[in-house]
Structure 1
Amino acid sequence: MKSTLYALFLAILFLQADIINAQSIKTTGLKEKIDALIPEAINDTTPGLVIGIVHEGELIFKKAYGKANLAYGLDNDSKMVYNIGSVSKQFLGYAFAMLEVDGSLDLDNPVSKYLDDWPEFDHEVTLRHVLTHTSGYREAYTLSNLAGRIVGVDHLSREECLNVVRKQPELEFTPGSRFTYNSTAWVILAEVFEKVKGESAEDWLVSNVLRPLGMNDTHIETHVGEVIPNAAESYYLNDENSYVNAESNRAIFGAAEVYSSIEDLAKWVNNYKTAEIGGKKVRDLFVDPFTLNNGRDAQYGLGIFSGNYRGLKRIQHGGSHEAFLSFISYYPDQDLGIITITNFGGKGWTSESDIADILLGEFISSEPKKMAKGKKSKKKKLEQFTGLYLVSDKNRKLDFSVEDDSLTINGRTKLVPIDKNRFRNKSGDNTYSFELSDDGSARLTEKTSRVDYIYDRIEPWESGAEGLKDYVGDYWSTELETVYHLTIEEDAMRVEHRWLGEIGLQPLSKDIFRSEWGQYVEFLRDEKGLVTGLSINTGRTLNVRFDKMD
């Protein structure tokens, strides 16, 4: 019922945009305003970026800054093609919506129906779960790094990505229970697509979506090192402040690998409104956000985020690959699309939201949504909530302190008290509720738009070299087929790996460490208190087990 109502809502929404011919966008002085947003690091001799603005079906603004290729002095321009990273996902997602509507497949069928020799877990994983980042599958790119694969050097194939899930001991969570961004899922989807249609997803998309839309410059990379006509290079600055070509160790369509231009992407943005390819039923299925098991909105459809920006309806997706960063958005009420791509990593990034604020200022308040001031709390009372909190998945921490008489997260995000033990993010909708115990322990519930996260306050642990001796040794992962050697150097734990080199570990509490690369490491003990192994958790991957070797 909810999906039907949402589809009706979408139909009315896009119909309204047709009827009123979109809300007027003011473009006076637009060039100068956009120029003012360009990072200082960009000039005529550096890598740069391209920006496109689409309104009422027309590319009303296009401008390029900096170089597309430093070796040959080629300029960026609106017809140059760039790797758009995860923005690529929406093309395959749209294709799956087309196959669902024409009856070629059922998104609510399990993945195992379409792939041979596919693992059956305790819970069924459907195509819809995979398309919406709610599957519980492993993240192959993360595991590749943990195993010692070096980005830009070691090759990673589709089959290796699929084998990550085949070797996965169990699902990371119940399918549909949470949203965890996952690129492996889209490699799986490309494989499913090929089984269903009898041809590669790349070829099918070119013939049935890209070329019919007139996206003639857009290209899907099929192998590492492929020569792509009119393609830009991407760059970063090394420690010596010299430019380096960013490289990739993979060319696996599904999660990424689409190269496109501003002019071609403008045609794709226009399809959000016209549904020229597939029709409105496909378009609505594509943007309809998944509903999680808890009844909340996942804010993600079939390869695209669907939500709001400062009160305005927006669909959007960002991408990152090599040193390319990209973002594409569409505001249906205003029939406005914004496209930004840089080939200079973070140094070349111009925020889509800054551009949107220029164009949509009359439709949104001049200031972000203001929260109620809430109740005042005395500093002494706030201090009872301070400390380091670790989420139950052991892959994220929050550090609460008191700054300027306000409870603050990680020294930056100020919270507003709304109840005795409950606070709200001053610049967002998340709430934080504390449960304090007489023994000094504390539990935190972070309520987000998607799910609730449970944290426990952890006690700092100053071990010294003596306290670290339990952890020294070799640890083997059957899943990764690799060994980590843990040693103590200058009273600090370090991980040694033949390909990764040395990685420092910082203790958060007893048996819980955080690596200098951002992974969380939990040491496991038996009933006698002896260390038997360790488990690694990251933002996208949980419980990667290593057993301590004798």
Structure 2
Amino acid sequence: MKTIATAFLVSVTAFPALAQPNDGIDAVFARYTGESVPGCAVGVEKDGKTVLERAYGMADIEERVRAQPSSIYEAGSISKQFTAAAIVLLARDGTLALSDDIRKYLPEMPDYGTPITIEHLIQHTSGLRDWGSISAMEGWPRNSRSANNDDVLAIAARQKGLNYAPGAHYSYSNTNFNLAAIIVARVSGQSFAAFTKARIFDPLGMTSTQWRERYRTLVPGRATAYAREGDTYVIDQPIEDAHGNGGLLTTVKDLLAWNAALDADRLGVGFRAAMERVGVLTDGTRIVYASGLLVDKHRGIDEVAHSGATGGYRAWLARYPAQRLSIALLCNAGDVEPVAIGHSVADHYLSGLAPMPVYKPSGKLPAGLYVSEVTGAPISIVADAEGGLRIDGKALDPVAPGRWSLSGTDFVFGRRNDLVVEANGERLRYRRVEPVEMVDPTPFAGRYCGADNPFCMVVRAAPDGGLSIATTGRPGLAAQPLKPAFTDVFTSKYATIRFVRDASGAVSGLTYGDSRAWAVEFTRTP
């Protein structure tokens, strides 16, 4: 996805970092120091005391304003836990129940046969399609045009289909939290921002925290967000008014205050436990996602955390309750990997970490094309020259016989050409399929119009004998080439496209999906 609002270019050359204590933390941020690069603010509390508060790089490169620990950044999806907290507070007030059908408060939403509960929303188990994915299908990816929560509700309300039956699986969808924010406003009789200010931010002394309700609002002390383009940085500020899924403007100090309040149950006895209660799927599977929080482990240590990314902002917030450690990371550089950097900081303070697994694979590598039995999406696993495996160019770490890991997701290969992907507490089965290199484009070319959405997909034969796909939702947008994956299934840069055939074998439709909107239906038209 291309960045929007490219306002200026700067060369990426690092200046010497400001002098800091030689504790190894500076090395973690070495790439983001100097006067021509964006950077990060980081704060750490240990045993109730602030032990680290630093900033690296620039808050504003144009105006040559250095980042400060007090600089205000956007927290991305870290924001979700505050939306969930507002829901939990209302539930504890008795003004709503987590088991309530969302249609009690959102009558605009379709009846899906099985109720979607408020708890489904805040645990990402609703099955609702992500509104950003739907908008991208139309030709308007996130941050290419403005949207507010009313726009999100309108997109969600027209989706007659779900990714799956409510409660059956976990899938990350921003729609869940925008709708939760709307519910908070309708139940409380206040704006979502006013409710969270009165019930969370003000009582906890989070004086630098607010929501991005209107992206044009001036925010003194705010760091500008940047994205990397080649050897330069460009401005990549969010231009959306939708919030609750993201949009929290805050500082590392305020985030640490929030973590401390959770540890101390300052919002009421049992509040933290309610926030950390993980989801349970209809088949009894316990996932690691709770109320806007991931309750998991890092190298054997209990961890409660969440990352965030919006525009060029990156963020990470974590607590290690048994170790009495809390870490907040806020960045305005889109090429930061916040979880990796956050864990590097955490490892300086944690004790008793399990050693990183060391395993050298032997025998034939299980490279190949696999397709999910749940989502229908293929993944291509490729053997590299060093005797390892890669997905989309990213190296998998061998951790045990038949088991490889990548960013917290485990890939477990069986002896019958099968694969189980373990992520977020779920075990999803994949089967191996035979890849297809070339196809006759003729049966697939045509116009396919949305069952739930007011735009069409146009599939054309390309001059090179391949296929391309374009949306009518944004005329003039370049078509994306389609790459054959396996029988009747293609991939583009952004999605998986599966062509559907009728009883006679003729192509009658297609589904278009990504990881957050799985199989959105389009019907072939004359």
Deviation at 1:424, TM superposition (A): 2.5
1:272 aligned onto 2:262 = yes
Change (3 A) 1:314 1:348: closer
Name the counterpart of 1:457. Answer: 432
1:375-404 CA-partner distances (Å, limit 9, x unpaired) = x86x3xx46x54211112222414265977
Name the counterpart of 2:370. Answer: 389
Within 5 Å, give how 1:310-459 maps onto structure 2: 310-347=299-336, 351-360=341-350, 362-365=351-354, 367-369=355-357, 379=363, 382=364, 386-392=367-373, 393-399=375-381, 401=383, 412-413=395-396, 415=398, 423-425=402-404, 430=410, 432-434=412-414, 436=416, 442-448=417-423, 450-459=425-434
Q: Contact between 2:358 and 2:398, CA under 8 Å: does it hold in 1?
A: no
Deviation at 1:426, TM superposition (A): 6.3
Name the counterpart of 1:472. Answer: 445
Name the counterpart of 2:271. Answer: 282
Q: Distance in 2 between matches of 1:344 and 1:401?
A: 32
Q: Distance in 2 between matches of 1:200 and 1:134?
A: 26
The residue type paired with residue 453 of structure 2 is L
Change (3 A) 1:405 1:346: closer
Deviation at 1:57, TM superposition (A): 2.5
Q: Contact between 1:296 and 1:449, CA under 8 Å: does it hold in 2?
A: no
Name the counterpart of 2:158. Answer: 167
1:110-147 CA-partner distances (Å, limit 9, x unpaired) = 11122223321121111111110000111101101111
1:541 aligned onto 2:511 = no
Q: Distance in 2 between matches of 1:403 and 1:139?
A: 37
Structure number with the higher helix fraction is 1
Name the counterpart of 2:122. Answer: 131
The equivalent position to 2:229 in structure 1, one of 200, 222, 238, is 238
Change (3 A) 1:152 1:426: closer
Q: Distance in 1 between matches of 2:136 and 2:390?
A: 33
Q: Contact between 1:236 and 1:323, CA under 8 Å: does it hold in 2?
A: yes
The equivalent position to 2:242 in structure 1, one of 252, 256, 261, is 252
Q: Distance in 1 between matches of 2:214 and 2:293?
A: 25
The residue type paired with residue 331 of structure 2 is T
Name the counterpart of 2:37. Answer: 46
1:490 aligned onto 2:464 = yes
Q: Distance in 2 between matches of 1:359 and 1:34?
A: 10
Flag structure 2 segments of 5+ consecutive residues without an equivalent. 1-19
1:463-498 CA-partner distances (Å, limit 9, x unpaired) = 25xx11111122222423112222213122112342
Count residues with an aligned counterpart.
Answer: 499
1:209 aligned onto 2:200 = yes
Within 5 Å, give how 1:173-192 maps onto structure 2: 173-192=164-183
Q: Contact between 1:325 and 1:342, CA under 8 Å: does it hold in 2?
A: yes
The residue type paired with residue 503 of structure 1 is Q
Q: Distance in 2 between matches of 1:507 and 1:46?
A: 40
- Higher Cα radius of gyration: 1
The residue type paired with residue 270 of structure 1 is A
Q: Distance in 2 between matches of 1:430 and 1:157?
A: 36
Q: Distance in 1 between matches of 2:388 and 2:53?
A: 44
The equivalent position to 2:480 in structure 1, one of 496, 500, 503, is 503
Name the counterpart of 1:88. Answer: 79
Name the counterpart of 1:529. Answer: 505
Deviation at 1:445, TM superposition (A): 3.8
1:479-537 CA-partner distances (Å, limit 9, x unpaired) = 231122222131221123425312111111231111023x1011111122211121112
Identity of aligned residues (%): 23
Change (3 A) 1:499 1:111: farther
Flag structure 1 segments of 5+ consecutive residues without an equivalent. 1-28, 437-441
Change (3 A) 1:42 1:532: farther
When the two chains are superposed, the root-mean-square deviation of aligned CA atoms in Å is: 2.5
Q: Distance in 2 between matches of 1:479 and 1:78?
A: 46
Tell me the TM-score normalized by structure 1: 0.84
Name the counterpart of 2:285. Answer: 296
The residue type paired with residue 243 of structure 1 is Y
Name the counterpart of 2:298. Answer: 309
The residue type paired with residue 164 of structure 2 is F
Q: Contact between 1:68 and 1:74, CA under 8 Å: does it hold in 2?
A: yes
Q: Distance in 1 between matches of 2:161 and 2:337?
A: 40
Name the counterpart of 1:98. Answer: 89
Name the counterpart of 1:7. Answer: none
Residue 23 of structure 2 aligns to a residue in which SS? Answer: helix
Tell me the TM-score normalized by structure 2: 0.88
Q: Distance in 1 between matches of 2:120 and 2:283?
A: 14
- 455-464 vs 182-191, which moves further: 455-464
Deviation at 1:339, TM superposition (A): 1.0
The residue type paired with residue 269 of structure 2 is K
Q: Distance in 2 between matches of 1:403 and 1:280?
A: 56
